[in-house]
Structure 1
Amino acid sequence: MRLSRPFQDVSTMNTLLNTAEDLALEAGEPMPGPEHLLLAALRLPDGTARRAFGRLGADPDAFGAAVARVHAEALAAAGVRVADEAALDTEVARNRSPKRGAMRATAPAQEAFQAATRHARTDRSPLLGAHVVAAVAGLEHGTAPRALRAMDIEPAALGEAARAELAA
């Protein structure tokens, strides 16, 4: 992959991927998914991911809670009832996998990350949070699109907002 600004892009990629992995591990998940990439993009210092949400009048800080709510609803639909949140936190901590070298991610997260880097190359821009937002918003299925819809955000509209932020 040819990068527009190699050192800046590598730094952003490291920050993005490491943060996504940390967020997944904190949630008790062995590998980050697209929702973790989006949460990590919202923490990038360039601010473009947060501004993309803002273009829709949406609170970017509400995305994490929406992800948690979608996960809880999925567990409930599967018949899993969590009566004691402290017990769940203990169980998650017990089952947390430590980091093991190169980052691993779910196939949809890898797809979203590759799409984000392609967007950056096409734009001849450094990799920015809004590239990740646009890529994740392009996914049809999974936790991230369900969480966005739970926030009353249509993923396609968020993708358009991210592209508008990149064009600004």
Structure 2
Amino acid sequence: MKLTRTIKDIPTLRTLLEGAEAEARDAGRAEPGAEHLLLAALALPEGSAPRVLAHLDPTVDLARVRAAIAAQHAAALEAVGIEVPGPLAADAPGEADLPVPPTYRADASAREAFRAVTELVRAKPRVPLCGAHVVAAVAGLEHGTTPRALRILGIDREALAAAARAELARLAAAGRDRRSA
């Protein structure tokens, strides 16, 4: 049963990780961070991550999260004395032009978030890997770009985690209902 479950999660996992890599490259980063996992989760076709955010604030969408993350990256550069003349351009020279590594690499925040995703998936074995798992995982991060971006958006991390857990419970109940029908 576990192997079947793992095999069913592979397409979502691939889409999530490839999406995070693309988000990182677009932002000029060599490796994705937790913020890139969040952006990739918000773009997953199953839609659970946007539903979680909409539960807290219907105006928060992928574009607003992306803008808050870009603002945090710019603020970090400015904090060390690097002036950012305007929005961080996706086509700016730098690490975005590096080739994609053959194996998946991620920064410490993404690895921490993904460990949490793995624990959440194991805790809710009836819910396939989805964006709500990622949202719940990044809501647990205390440091880094993602929690600062969430603050900019006015989103409380505890409320976000609770909304993600509620979405996972809803998905588990919907799965039970489909099996019993």
Give the distance between the partners of 1:160 and 1:60, measured in 2 at CA: 18
Cα deviation for residue 108 of structure 1 reads 1.7
- SS of the equivalent of 1:17 reads helix
Relative to 1, partners in 2 of residues 1:76 and 1:127: Cα closer, same or farther, differing over 3 Å?
A: same
TM-score (norm 2): 0.84
The residue identity in structure 2 corresponding to 1:118 is E
Cα deviation for residue 96 of structure 1 reads 2.5
What residue in structure 1 maps to residue 178 of structure 2?
Answer: none
Q: Single out whichever of 158-167 and 4-13 deviates more from structure 2.
A: 4-13
Deviations 1:1-53 (A, max 9, x none): x4562222111111100110111011110100000000000011111100000
Q: How does 1:1-168 map to 2 (within 5 A)?
A: 2=2, 5-58=5-58, 59-61=60-62, 62-83=64-85, 89-92=91-94, 96-124=97-125, 125-168=127-170
For structure 2, the 5+ residue unaligned runs are 171-181
Matched pairs, number: 166
Which structure has more relative contact order (CA 8 Å, sep 6+)? It is 1
Question: Percentage identity across aligned positions?
Answer: 50
- SS of the equivalent of 1:90 reads coil
Relative to 1, partners in 2 of residues 1:63 and 1:131: Cα closer, same or farther, differing over 3 Å?
A: same
Over alpha carbons, which structure has the higher Rg? Answer: 2
What residue in structure 1 maps to residue 177 of structure 2?
Answer: none
Cα deviation for residue 164 of structure 1 reads 0.8
Cα deviation for residue 127 of structure 1 reads 0.7
RMSD of aligned Cα (Å): 2.0
For structure 1, the 5+ residue unaligned runs are none
